[in-house]
Amino acid sequence: MLKEYLIVAQEALNAKKEIYQIKQQRFELAQEEYQQLHKMCEDDSRSYASCKFTFNLQMPFLKKVAISLMSLLFSQKSC
């Protein structure tokens, strides 16, 4: 019975690790996009309003990814 529990626990841990890696990759991609948008806004002052609008559209996604990543990190530390 203990062996079965350990196997299930190991599988759950592996699944959490995989989810963490995917969220980490998504977070890194979001950071890269954020930096590209920021650079684009700085480089091209003619389209500042357009960049600002696009940038503001991306912020909720970036915040959601960051919050998800942090909650996952804290939940893994408590296990």
Ranges of each domain in the chain = 31-79
CA distance 54 to 59: 9
CA distance 19 to 7: 18
Provide the pLDDT for residue 7.
95
Taking the model in full, what pTM does it have?
Answer: 0.52
pLDDT band at 57 (very low <50, low <70, confident <90, very high): low
Q: What is the DSSP string of 29-71?
A: HHHHHHHHHHHHHHH-GGGHHHHHHHHHHHHHHHHHHHHHHHH
- When mean pLDDT is compared across 7-16, 26-35, 47-56, 70-79, the lowest value belongs to 47-56
The predicted-structure confidence for 35-44, as pLDDT tens digits, reads as follows: 887 777 766 6
Q: Are 32 and 61 in contact (CB under 8 A)?
A: no
